[in-house]
Amino acid sequence: MTYRIAVLPGDYAGPEVTAEAVKVLRTLQEVSSLRFDLQEGLIGGAAVDATGDPLPAATLQLCQASDAVLLGAVGGPRWDGLPAAQRPEQGLLRLRRALDLYANLRPAKVYEPLVAASTLRPEVVRGIDLLVVRELVGGIYYGEPRGIERLAEGERAINTMVYTTAEIRRVAHLAFTLARQRRHKVTSVDKANVLEVSVLWRREVTEVAGAFPDVTLEHLYVDNCAMQLVRDPRQFDVILTGNLFGDILSDEAAMLTGSIGMLPSASLGGKTGLFEPVHGSAPDIAGRGVVNPLAAIASVAMLLAYGLQEVAAAQAVEAAVARVLEEGYRTPDIMAPGCTPVSTAEMGDHVCAALRQGLATA
């Protein structure tokens, strides 16, 4: 079987890290029975420059007809002055909605060779292995009404946080299902002491938990969860939360691992999943060959596992990343004394070499 993969490099550092992720897919094709039909499309600022639309119809059609979508990153200062509807980020938000990608999975795992790269003490971060499950197509990012309106004196800005029972229950069900495959614990994060939306969130998550008696459920307010993530991150298994809180907490969790350049993500829900690094377009370091591609490569592993159900191939990619780190290769963001500095492309080459060797001896 040949899998069709839509490849959307995006902006600034996006094409750099996507090239290394594609390199890994091509290596898999060389040394295994997997076959990929890689079709490239425009999104974000690159799409605005070419077509005036951050999500052209051709790109959306490509994604809808594919088995999975591999995305680089969108956005950057070049397009900051555009009207809201033309901003690169709107292309990604529209794509999530169009594909009904209601759940964003962001794992944060500390590789033993990178324990010292974290800004926290080794005894705090060693052994971290948590998964943030973020609701992705509801909440304040999509709620109406929204906008900025003029008043007699100054202006007023409005955003609306909205969640329905159905939106909460479906992402909660996925979080509990994933917890069953891990350490059987879900921490639901809200602000139920202040927000009515969170009152409903807590009530519905609790009801869903009744169908998973083997999974422990705890509730935390978002401010307490943020504190606990830096105090004792190993207490967490699956963190379930809404769009806004998940956006913030997952970036905090990413930095526990030493670099946001290490963290992949998967957005699931409809027929086609979307897989992308967490780090964004990194315009300050793009084009210099110093961006860490491991998050994009780890996103390939998530694409294989969650998007294509090719678990063995996903494990092989993860093992290759671990081996390269054990061998001491480092991009600048994770550099440490005694390690070997490498460029973006060189890191990709080392992962591909480790992947070939791992599959040859499997």
Q: Which residues are catalytic?
A: 141, 191, 223, 247, 251
One-letter amino acid for residue 98 of the chain: A
Give the full edge-to-edge strand order of the sheet including 103-109. Answer: 35-40, 2-10, 68-73, 273-277, 264-268, 103-109, 129-135, 238-241, 185-190, 216-221
Q: Distance between CA atoms of 72 and 92, rounded to whole angstroms?
A: 11
What secondary structure letter does DSSP report for 23? H
Contact 233, 124 (CB under 8 A): yes
Give the H/E segment covering residue 39. Answer: strand 35-40
CA distance linking residue 187 with residue 229, whole number of Å: 12
Q: Is residue 161 within 8 Å of 196, Cβ to Cβ?
A: no
Instruction: Judge contact between 352 and 297, C-beta under 8 A.
Output: no
Classify residue 285 by its DSSP letter. T
First to last CA, the chain: 22
CA 162 centroid distance within chain: 23
State the greatest distance between any 2 C-alpha atoms of the chain, in Å, as a whole number. 73
The three-point CA angle 260-188-270 to 5° equals 70
